[in-house]
Amino acid sequence: MNSMERRYPLLVDVYGGPNSQRVMEENAVSLSWYFATSLEYVVAVIDGRGTGSRGWKYRSPIYGNLGTVEIEDQIEATRILLKKHRFIDRSRVAIWGWSYGGFASAHVVERDSNRTFKCAISVAPVTNFKYYDATYTERYMGLANAAAYERTNLARNVSAFHNVDYLLIHGTGDDNVHFQNTAEFIRALTEQRVQFELMIYPDSRHSLINVRPHLHELLTRFLQKCFHRSP
């Protein structure tokens, strides 16, 4: 690579929930457009195993195993992108997600043994599927599946969060992913003396629609700090 060739930060925008689809031949204006165009980040969206529109064999491995194959695929696909594209700066890689995506971004931190990701953001994350809507959860996890449920529990092992800059965001009025998820995770992080950034929005619901200007500035400032620090 020419020493003058510019390299860009990589931001992985993750969702990854069962039967979802983010990668398609159309697009909608989103916050990721702003990150890509105004902040000049490379933004990657990855539909790993468990997502929809690719057949049953691709979708089925996630059944009974939330927080496993879809997490592995986010990490592995990111490594492939870093190896393939020389314009990506491998020292500046972050991941962010909302709702199931917040669950996924946190589990990526937990599973990222090679420390590919330097920063991570979780917005309104499920941190333990024992706390989530039974109709949704039992559809994909069943009921008599105690070990798999425990694997979804982020509080059981937070040691990897010492290795990243981490931002956790949640509204106390969230009636989709209850704030209990974040409260229990905060307890685990603080008990293990993990330093992290936290933003709690009183009475805000899952969409955080009433605090979007503040939220967008918060995300921007966190990512700019992440990507402009010394490696």
Among this protein's residues, is 174 annotated catalytic?
Answer: yes
Over the stretch 80-123, which tens digit does the pLDDT of each residue have? 999 999 999 999 999 999 999 999 999 999 999 999 999 999 99
Please say whether the structural domain 8-228 has been given the CATH code 3.40.50.1820: yes
Of the listed 99, 105, 122, 204, which one is catalytic?
99
Among this protein's residues, is 170 annotated catalytic?
Answer: no
2 pLDDT more than 80: no
What integer is the mean pLDDT of 11-15? 97
How far, in Å, CA of 178 to CA of 180, rounded?
5
156 pLDDT more than 70: yes
What mean pLDDT, rounded, does the chain reach? 94
Among this protein's residues, is 113 annotated catalytic?
Answer: no
Of the listed 165, 174, 178, 204, which one is catalytic?
174
pLDDT range class, residue 231, cuts 50, 70, 90 = very low
